[in-house]
Amino acid sequence: MNRWLAFGEVVDGYPVPVVNERQVRAAAGLLFFPAVVSFMHSFLLGNFQYTRWFIVVFLVDMTLRVISPRWSPSMIVGGWIVRHQTPEWVGAAQKRFAWGLGLLLGLAMLYLMVLNRYIGPANMLICGACLLLMFFETAFGICLGCRLYNVFHREKAQLCPGGVCEVPASARGWGLSLPQALVLVAFAGLAVAAKNWVDRTGPLQGFDEMATLEEMGLQPTPGASSAAERQRCEVPAFAKAIGHEEMWKRHNGCS
């Protein structure tokens, strides 16, 4: 097969086609950042245009990646970013399977949000799943989709990141000592105490010292402001559908 269409690299000393795990993690991070930005923009502001745009971009990238990682824009850029790092070769087959799952999730979002403009709990679940998969890949080097590869394939995955396929589960250990566990418990307690203290002190009043509209000579026409404010604070249907009406009002400064 033409090397430009083949999936994975053939590297001497490795029994199966491989991909560079460092490049994969970099590519996941490049997709994860705009995914989070678009998701939060939709969740907090109720504007889904960035999410709809990102879905199209994500689908194009993932489709090219499933065909061959050589043609995926995120893999190309990610590979360039980590070009000076020693490659960590991992099995390509399970990566293709995981990316295929991502492609299916993207197709579902294309149908729901981009084409049919559907807004509801299904969007949240699918977006959340995509973000979780990309976060684990880029932050921890854990391919959750690859874990399902062995469930659907008789031939087990080889050359997993960190050698987890080759190391027996009994030999991996818990990796956490008692002092470390105590530090985590203390840190969690500190985080809870800090949250309670912040809540007791009340919110910041960052706009108290800013000039008013009247002081800036921008006093609106009587009646126009209230009408515009009512229109701005009208809760969209998607927020009502997912039970976030009050949350939407708080995020948008509406009483």
Domain range annotation of the chain: 18-172, 178-201+214-251
Residues 6+ apart with CB under 8 A from 29: 78, 134, 138
Tell which residue, 130, 141, 134, has the closest CA to residue 22: 141
Residue 133 has pLDDT above 50, yes or no: yes
The C-alpha atoms of residue 167 and residue 31 are separated, in whole angstroms, by 30
pTM assigned to the model: 0.71
Most confident of 55-69, 170-184, 224-238: 55-69
Select the more confidently predicted residue: 245 or 98: 98
What 3-state DSSP class applies to 18? strand
Q: Provide, rounded to the nearest whole percent, the portion of the chain with pLDDT above 90.
A: 40
Q: At 20, is the secondary structure helix, strand, or coil?
A: strand
Name residues whose C-beta falls within 8 Å of residue 9's C-beta, 6 or more positions apart in sequence: 17, 18, 19, 20, 89, 92
Which one-letter amino acid corresponds to residue 105? L
DSSP letter assigned to residue 85: S
User: 10 Å Cβ neighbour count for 122?
Assistant: 13
Instruction: Determine the distance from the C-alpha atom of residue 248 to the mean position of all C-alpha atoms in its chain, rounded to a whole number.
Output: 22
DSSP H or E stretch at residue 89:
strand 89-91
Mean pLDDT within 88-116? 92
Q: How far is CA 166 from CA 10, 48, 91, 218, in A?
A: 20, 44, 12, 69
Among residues 222, 223, 245, 224, which one has the least CA distance to residue 234? 245
Average pLDDT in the chain:
82
Out of 8-17, 85-94, 105-114, 231-240, pick the least confident.
Answer: 231-240
Q: Which of 235, 237, 227, 240 is nearest to 253 (CA)?
A: 235
Residue 169: pLDDT above 70? no
Q: Any residues with CB less than 8 A from the CB of 68 and at least 6 apart, and which?
A: 4, 5, 6, 7
